[in-house]
Amino acid sequence: MTKQTVVVALGGNALLRRGEPLEAYIQRQNIATAAKSIAEIAKEYNVVLVHGNGPQVGLLALQGLEYTKVSPYPLDVLGSETQGMIGYILMQELKNILPEQNVSCLVTQMSVDPEDPAFADPTKPIGPVYNEAEARELAEKYNWTVKPDGEYFRRVVPSPQPTGIIEDDAITALINLQHLVICTGGGGIPVKKENGKLVGVEAVIDKDMSAAFLAKQLNADALLILTDADAVFLDWGKPTQKALRSTTPSELAQYTFDAGSMGPKIDASCEFINQGGKLVGIGSLEAGLRILKGEAGTNIIAE
């Protein structure tokens, strides 16, 4: 029987959990855990894996600021570095668990509209968390924009909407060859056309939006968003919090979700369903396969 195709979006905070030191060995440990969950899904589905890069791209930017003999590298270049770094470890850990499975990692560019209003209102958190005083000091020093992230503060950068996957044909070809494909990491490297040529853009695309865009383009059977929350909750963090187990875009439209965490995931999910997608699952990394089966997390379906 032909396997169904699922696009799995793996959060950058699942690879480096909130508050953990930005150490390579800690990320490898977390990725090894993630790979076990992805491998279980890959036994029953064709998997196309998209990963976040918020903590990692922010760390690279910080490291670049410390070496003053060269200008800091732009975010599109740093994004490509995170695709290679995270993709390499994911590819290695998945191959160790599934030695017979072809696993490929593709450096992927994503086109954006240079007139996107997101450039005037940065919202994408990158890098580590800071207390407010430290965040304000760094913002002054480096001309950053900082915004609250839960009880902490983080640097935020523009996060434009994806408009096209440059390496779309290559991704499709690898899927047809039954590869487990890792692509559009960090939402894809943001690029635009300038005088007929592709050039990088100073931004970080939301990986959930890119995953939804990719899932629609591939006509995937499902989109699975794995995060550090067990499900989509109403009244998150309050005594009245309640998990939504099965819902629809119209029901979700009645509620407001945090723009720095669950909000973009809800927006991406509804975008996929409203454009003809059949199923979105949202929940914890460890429950990935159970979420797709409706046994855990939150399922979002068409009306």
Domain ranges of the chain: 5-114+160-301, 123-157
Give me the percent of the chain exceeding a pLDDT of 90: 80
Mean pLDDT of 92-111: 97
Known catalytic membership, residue 187: no
Residue 85 has a pLDDT of 94
0.85 exceeded by pTM? yes
Q: What pLDDT was estimated at residue 246?
A: 96
242 assigned to active site: no
Mean pLDDT of 60-83: 93
Name the band, by pLDDT with cuts 50, 70 and 90, for residue 2.
confident
229 confidence band (pLDDT: 50, 70, 90): confident
At 17, the pLDDT band (50, 70, 90 cuts) reads confident
Catalytic residue among 46, 54, 265, 281: 265
124 is catalytic: yes
The overall average pLDDT reported for the chain is 93
pLDDT in the model for residue 1: 55
8 CB-near residues (< 8 Å, 6+ apart)? 38, 41, 47, 48, 49, 50, 211, 224, 226, 288
pLDDT value for 115: 96
pLDDT on residue 12? 66
pLDDT band at 171 (very low <50, low <70, confident <90, very high): very high
Class of domain 5-114+160-301: alpha beta
Which of 197, 199, 206 is closest to 162 using CA atoms? 206
Is 13 one of the annotated active-site residues of the chain? yes
**Active-site choice (54, 79, 188, 207):** 207
Q: Determine the average pLDDT of the residues in 213-217.
A: 96
- Residue among 278, 46, 87 at smallest CA distance from 175: 46
Of the residues 11, 13, 185, 187, only one is catalytic, namely 13
Residue in 12, 87, 127, 277 annotated catalytic: 12
- 265: annotated active-site residue: yes
Please give the average per-residue pLDDT across 18-35, as a whole number: 88
- CA nearest to 52, candidates 278, 265, 273, 270: 265
Q: Using CA atoms of 223, 53, 93, 178 in order, give the dihedral in degrees to the nearest 10.
A: 40
What is the pLDDT, as a whole number, of residue 9? 97
